[in-house]
Amino acid sequence: MCLFSDSLFKCFLKLSFRNFFHKPVKNGFADISSAKALSNNTIMKTDKLMEKQIDWLPILSQCKENIKKEIAPLLKTLNQPQPSLGIGAGGDPIKQIDLAAEDAIIKTLKEYGLSFTLISEESGIKNYGPNPEENYVTADPIDGTTNLMRGIPFYATSIAVSTKPELRAVHTALVADLFHNVTYTAEKGEGTQRNGQKVTPSKQASLEEAVVGVNLNTYKIRKVAPQLTRLIEKTKHIRHLGANALELCYVADGTTDAFIDIRGKLRTTDTAAAWLIIKEAGANITTPDGKPLNAKLDPKEKLKFIAAANQKIHNTILNLIKA
C-alpha cells in the first residue's frame, strides 16, 4: 500500500530532479547528457510505478457491475419514444442509456477517490479530482448502442486506463459483453483473460477457412471497396456484428481470426481497451501499412487497423489490402 499520495510522490520527484540539476557541472556536456538520460529513465520508471500504485482491474470490474445496474431499468423501456439529447463528443446521437452508463463509470471512480481525466465518446474530455493528469480513463460506455436499441444481443462497455492520452500508454483494459456476461481484461505484461481464464488467439493460417470481420459501415464504401475486394474474394466467412471493441476481443480469444477496419471512421474511444487486449493475447494489430498502431486518445481521433490472430494470416491480409 502506498504510504503517501500521488501528489506528494510527484513533488518528491520534482525536488529530486531540481537538486540533481543544481549540482555543479564538472564535465560539461557529458554531465548534462547523463543528467538528461537519468531524468528520462526516472520518468519512465515513475510511469511504471504509477501504473502499479492502483489495482485497476477490480475498479473496472466494479464499473461494469454498476453500469449493468444503472441501465437495467432503461432496457425495459427501449421500445418507448426516447428523448433527444443532442450529439455526443464522438459525433453520434446521445441516447439516455449511453449517459446512464457513463455516469456509472464516473460515480464508481469518484467513490474510489481517484483523480482522473475521462475521455468519453459521450461527454468528451473532462477532469475529475485535484490531479486529473495522473490517470486517463478512455471509455465507450456502450459500444454497439444501435444493436442494444434494436434488441440485437451484441453490445459492450469498453474502458481503458493509461498514464498518457495516447494508445500505446494504455496499461489496463476491460471490455464487457453486457448481454452474455462475458468480460475480457488485460494488464500490460500480464496477458489477456476472458472471465478470469487466460486466452490465446487462433492459429488458423488459411484465409479461405478463416472467419474475418470487416467493418463496411460507411457512406465512403466506394473508396475502400477496391482495397477490400481481393480480400473478400478469398474469404468464405465475412462477418460484421456491430460492436467493434467486442469484435476485436473475439480475435484475441480465437473466436474469429481477424477484424479489419480501414474506413478511417472508428474512434480511439472504441479501440483503446481492445487494443491492449489484442496485444496481450499475442495477436497482431497494425495500421493497414503494417506499422505499429498508435493514436491520440480523443473522441474525435479516428484510426484504421488490421487485427489478426497470428503473423501468417496478418501478412496475407496486409498483402491483399496493399494490392
pLDDT tens figures, 211-258: 999 998 776 677 788 888 888 889 999 999 999 999 999 999 999 999
Its CATH class, for the domain covering 211-322, is: alpha beta
Sheet holding 124-128, edge to edge: 124-128, 116-120, 136-143, 156-162, 170-177, 182-187, 192-194, 197-198
- Roughly what angle, to the nearest 10 degrees, separates helices 29-53 and 6-21? 170
Distance of alpha carbon 258 from alpha carbon 214, whole angstroms: 8
Q: 240: phi > 0 → left, psi -120 to 50 → alpha, else beta; which?
A: beta
Q: Residue 216's pLDDT is what?
A: 83
Q: Residue 92's pLDDT is what?
A: 74
Higher pLDDT, 3 or 165: 165
Closest CA to 317 of 280, 283, 294: 283
For 95-117, what is the mean pLDDT? Answer: 96
Distance of alpha carbon 114 from alpha carbon 128, whole angstroms: 8
Domain boundaries in the chain? 54-198, 211-322
Distance of alpha carbon 154 from alpha carbon 307, whole angstroms: 20
Position 139, amino acid: A
Whether 25 shows a pLDDT value over 70: the answer reads: no
Q: Residue 48's pLDDT is what?
A: 52
Q: Residue 41's pLDDT is what?
A: 55
Which architecture, in CATH terms, is 54-198? Answer: 2-Layer Sandwich (3.30)
- Structure pTM? 0.82
With H, G, I as helix, E, B as strand and everything else as coil, classify residue 255. Answer: coil
Whether 5 shows a pLDDT value over 50: the answer reads: no
For 125-133, what is the mean pLDDT? Answer: 97
Q: Residue 124 is inside which H or E element, if any? A: strand 124-128
Mean pLDDT, the chain, whole residue set? 85
Cell numbers found for residue 117: 481525466
